[in-house]
């Protein structure tokens, strides 16, 4: 008797244009059962199209909701770390740049202090570190670009000049790679690679020996853990 009642309700819902998923959710029946009962009552093409559009809207709405939740969560982490870490002391700023140099800086060329990267934020921090922590005069700092042959050189030089607040007089002639940016899967930030460079043997040696001192101490500690 219960099944007859459920079947009657299922049929009514189907005639109202409900999908199997909607009926299943309301009556807690399997799709195989609904298919057996309602197979002779297909939905019109118009109704199927309408349900599909509504489903896409629900999916998009769900995605937007989840994105906003993630965004709010990340904002919470940002504020937490901002309060915990900033502002950096002069000593902390030096160490931050030292570790950046350890990972990204030129260590092979004597007397040349330079860091290359595709991320504009890394280069902005590098410039700040050079000036504030290493006490390098801004007019002594040179910039250079590595670009691909299908990139507009003038546009990219202007981009980095504006981003770093460095006049074009600070820029050397860019190196143009033979490959095209459009041939690559990893396109970075879309503006090629920018490097900041200054020639100073004393500063270079202090950076290298600073890295070595940290490496020796904590490398030794690591093997004893």
- Interval 75-109: pLDDT, tens: 999 999 999 999 999 999 999 999 999 999 999 99
Q: State the DSSP H helix or E strand holding residue 48, giving kind and residue range, or none if neither.
A: helix 45-85
Q: How confident is the model at residue 9 (pLDDT cuts 50, 70, 90)?
A: confident
12 preceded by a cis bond (ω within 30 of 0): no
The b-or-e profile of 33-54 (16+ CB within 10 A means b, else e) is bbeebbeeeebeeeeeeebeee
Q: Mean pLDDT over residues 148-174, rounded?
A: 95
Burial class (CB in 10 A: 0-12, 13-18, 19+), 6: middle
Q: Considering just the CA atoms, what is the radius of gyration of the chain in Å? A: 31
DSSP annotation of 182: G
Comparing 101 with 29, the larger pLDDT belongs to 101
Q: Does this model's pTM top 0.95?
A: no
Contact between residue 34 and residue 6 where contact means Cβ atoms under 8 Å apart = no
Q: What mean pLDDT do residues 42-49 have?
A: 81
């Amino acid at each position: 008797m219960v099944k007859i009642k459920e079947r009657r309700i299922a049929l009514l819902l189907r005639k109202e244009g409900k999908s199997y998923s909607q009926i299943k959710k309301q009556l807690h029946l399997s799709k195989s059962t609904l298919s057996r009962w309602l197979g002779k009552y297909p939905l019109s093409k118009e109704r199927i199209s309408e349900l599909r559009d509504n489903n896409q809207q629900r999916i998009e709405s769900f995605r937007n909701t989840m994105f906003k939740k993630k965004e709010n969560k990340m904002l919470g982490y940002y504020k937490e770390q901002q309060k915990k870490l900033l502002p950096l002391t002069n000593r902390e700023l030096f160490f931050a740049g030292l570790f950046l140099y350890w990972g990204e800086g030129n260590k092979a060329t004597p007397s040349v202090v330079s860091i290359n990267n595709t991320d504009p934020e890394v280069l902005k921090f590098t410039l700040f570190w050079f000036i504030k922590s290493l006490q390098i005069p801004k007019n002594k700092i040179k910039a250079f670009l590595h670009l691909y042959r299908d990139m507009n050189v003038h546009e990219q030089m202007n981009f980095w000049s504006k981003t770093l607040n460095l006049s074009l007089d600070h820029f050397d002639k860019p190196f143009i790679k033979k490959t095209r940016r459009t041939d690559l899967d990893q396109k970075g930030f879309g503006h090629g690679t920018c490097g900041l460079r200054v020639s100073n043997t004393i500063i270079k040696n202090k950076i290298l020996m600073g890295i070595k001192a940290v490496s020796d101490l904590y490398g030794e500690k690591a093997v004893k853990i």
